Structure 1
């Protein structure tokens, strides 16, 4: 790693660390939810490390507890995580030149904060000449620094929640803490009209379909948000030079 790459990595790490309390809290609440479900400690740890998606984990846990078929659990998790398809499309234009294994690793490490902060800082992909001139791949290492910070904070919070769950009474209102952590994640993302319309659509649909079983209202809310977000998005499309 060159000095420029180290500098970019450290800058990205520090950028994400500013939201450490929010990420730790959300991971902690998710870890407690896993520990208090039907999962064993080893299963909860494996889920935390491999899945690394709090909303998907929380959506899948009640389905696992009631013993629903694996295909239903996978479909629900896929629907809840549909936003990562959008994230992948957004980053594809920036990093399509990377080998597949590195793109897969970037996909695993990408979370909400890291994607939105990166796109906000670098809304337009580099041209071919700019990329060749940037021999240190500063953008990539800045993103990796953010991703590693996010991943490490999340895992610390999640694993702490798994091991400390038995010591924490349900009366502490951890669901409320989790909701506050989610709000802290979501609000900075509502910086465009399309994002605000999508959030409004998701809220209306989630409330209107609250009585559906298996938390299907969440799935419908996500679908509604994706549709409304794509319809109302007026961001100019990037065309390769």
Structure 2
């Protein structure tokens, strides 16, 4: 009878497992970053400013949101508020990761906070739940491994997009990368009724509020989606307790 004992990993093994899990995301990270580089230069940023934008923010969705609003000449307060709202999910990612890597040294947690993105979070949570016996150093190694192919690809592709600029033809359709990335990340995470209801409410609300200026409908949709999901969780918990 085969053993059901979880496989023990070294830190190096955890790192390379993370690298293998993060590698498939290059198919969307590269065109996504390249598209940002192209759009940033089209919006008037030079190559250095575009790279600094990516280096300082390092949050694709927030970068695109801010860039779009800047092109629409939105007030600075709206640009900042919208970018922060889009990135609120990262705060939830951090809270979810804390039980797993919260015991790591402060400098490691600081670096992890900067590099907590959709891909590193999604892969890490799935892996940590699958192998809860992993030590904190092994978890940090896995987290770093996921990022090892993604981070340099993001910067290099951003640079390439900024250098190429308007020479990229529309037929390349690089804008497919953003929705595909989020679909690939979100779909496997819809594991409970609360997740599904939150997603459905957010989708419907975003469609109904598409007319709201400065893309603020997305903030409204996200807020209502989270509220609906949280309320569903409470209802289900009450039913479970009564049962």
Q: CA RMSD in A?
A: 2.7
Residues 172-181 or 90-99, more deviating: 172-181
Shift of 1:41: 1.7
Query: Does the CA-based 8 Å contact 1:9-1:144 persist in structure 2?
Result: yes
Shift of 1:66: 4.2
TM-score normalised over the length of structure 2:
0.82
How many angstroms apart in 2 are the aligned matches of 1:172 and 1:137? Answer: 42
Determine which structure has more spread, i.e. the larger CA radius of gyration: 2
TM-score normalised over the length of structure 1:
0.82
Inter-CA distance 184–116: structure 2 relative to 1 (3 Å threshold): closer
- The SS at the match of 1:210 is coil
Aligned pair count reads 228
Report what 1:204 is aligned to. Answer: 204
How many angstroms apart in 2 are the aligned matches of 1:114 and 1:177? Answer: 17
Inter-CA distance 233–122: structure 2 relative to 1 (3 Å threshold): farther
Report what 2:56 is aligned to. Answer: 50
Shift of 1:87: 0.2
How many angstroms apart in 2 are the aligned matches of 1:19 and 1:137? Answer: 24
Report what 2:90 is aligned to. Answer: 84
Q: Deviations over 1:23-76 (max 9, x none)?
A: 222222222222221322211110111111111011111322344443332211
Shift of 1:213: 0.7
How many angstroms apart in 2 are the aligned matches of 1:115 and 1:182? Answer: 13
- Stretches of structure 2 that go unaligned for 5 or more consecutive residues are 1-8, 238-243
Report what 2:32 is aligned to. Answer: 26
Shift of 1:125: 9.8
* In the alignment, structure 1 residue 189 sits paired with structure 2 residue 176: no
Shift of 1:231: 2.9
Q: Deviations over 1:102-160 (max 9, x none)?
A: 2121011111122122112223996xxx78xx4x8212211111123222232233222
